[in-house]
Structure 1
C-alpha cells in the first residue's frame, strides 16, 4: 500500500499547545508545510505523496492540528454545541477559532527554525493555511489552498456530503475502517474510485493512533465560528495557488473559484472528476503544481 515508512514523530511547543509533527527530506531544502483537514491526522498525508514532494527538492513537514492525533487535545473545553446547524443557525460555541490554529501553525514554523515555508492546506487545512498567510505573511513564502473555501458558506456542500461531518462516533477499530469506506463513497472522486481496502486499513490505523470525536467537533466549531475571509483575502500579497476538484460534493468548486477571485494574482487549477480527496492518479499533477508554484515564489523573493 505504501513504499515509504512513517518518519519519527517530534513535538514542538506552540503557545499553549504541543504540536506533533514529522519531516521528510533535507532540512537544507525549502520547507513545504502540509496542513490537513477536519479530524484528519498528519498520517492522512500519504507517505508516498510526501516522498514525491520531497523528491522535487523540498523538506516536507506534516503535523497534527490541535485536537487530533498526538498534538494537544483540549479535553477541558468539552463538547461544543452544534445544534444550531439543524435549524440553519450559526454556531458560536467554539473554544477556539481558525486564527488560533493559524497561530499553532506559525509557532511550528518558528520551532522548525526556518524563516518561511511553502504552506499547503487541504479542506479545513486550506482554511488554516489561508488564515496563517493573512495573520503571519512574513512566515509564508507561498500558499496552496486545496479543496477549501474562503468561508461564509461559499461552495456549501450537498446535504449528503455535509452529513458525513456530524456522523456519530464509531465504537471500535473495525467500525472505523467501515466508516472510512462509507465516507469515501460519498465525498470521494467519482472519476478515481478509492482503493477501499487501503481506505479501510488507513482508517483503522488512524483510529489506533488517536481517536477523539469531541476534538473533531471542536475543530468543526472553529470553522463555523470563524466567519468569511473574502475581504481580507483581497489584501493578501502571498503568492497563491488554488486547486479544487470539479466534482467535490463537500466543498463545491465554486469555493475554489471564490478563493482565487479574492486573492490578487492567484492562479486557479480545477481538476475534472476529483471530489473531496486526493486520488493517487492525480498526485503527479498535484505535486507538479505545488513544486512549480513554490519554485516560482522562491525565484520572485530570492
Structure 2
C-alpha cells in the first residue's frame, strides 16, 4: 500500500510534529471526508507500507528527520515550486528559499527521490505566459542536478476559483501549447525529464511525456524496489497514478493559496487548524464515541520473490 501524506493538506509544512509522532507510534487514523463518522486505521510500519509519498511546498520542517524516515521506508518527495509570490501563495517561502530547501532535501535523500512540480499553471495580468517562461527557466537551471523529473499541469477551473481568485484569466489552448512547447525545450536544455499528469493534451512532440506522476515504476526506480505490474486506477477521472491512501484532511492547510482545491475557504482551514492536537492519531480533532472505526486494508504492491 502507498501512503500519501500531502494530497489533502500540506502535512509536511504544518504538521511535521504530528507526522513524526504517527511514525513513532506506528499507526494513523484517517477520517472519511464524505462520511465523517467513518474512521480508518492504517499501520505506519515498513512491513505494512510499500512507500510513503510526501507532497509539499515547504520541506524545511522535516529536513532534520527525513533521512531517518528514508532509512526505514521507501519514500518519494514531490516539491511544488512555481512562479507565484505571496499575492497568490501567502504562506509559501520565496522561490529562492524553496530552491535552497529542495537542494538540501536532495542532498539528504538523493535526487532520484525528488520530483519538482510546477503546477498549477494559471494566468492573470501579473502572471503572464512570459513570466511563467522566465520563472520556469530560472528554476530549471537551478534544480536540474537535484531532481528526478519535472511535472507540470494547467489549472483546473473549479467553481470556487471564481470567488477565491476573480483575477484568474481563462487559459486558451494556444497559451497551453505555447507554454508546453517552451517548457519542453527548456527541460531538454537542462537535461530534465518532463511530464504532465492527468487529463491533458498530447505534448509528446515537444518531448513531454504523458503518464501518471505517482506510478509504481517511478516509486520503484527511485527506491530500487520492484513492484508488481498492476493497473493504475488513479484517484480521479483521467488520472494514471497508482491508488494510495491519504492520511491528511481537507480544510486544514493554512498556506492560503488562492487557487487551493483542498479548502472550502481560508476561514474553514483556520478553524480546523485550531483543533489540531499533535498527540491525536487524527490530523485534527479526536476520535468520538459515535465514530465507526475500521482497520484499513493494506495490500502490498511489492513483487514477491
TM-score by length of 2: 0.33
TM-score by length of 1: 0.33
Which structure is larger by alpha-carbon Rg, 1 or 2? 2
Query: Looking at both structures, which has the greater relative contact order when contacts are Cα pairs under 8 Å and sequence separation is at least 6?
Result: 2
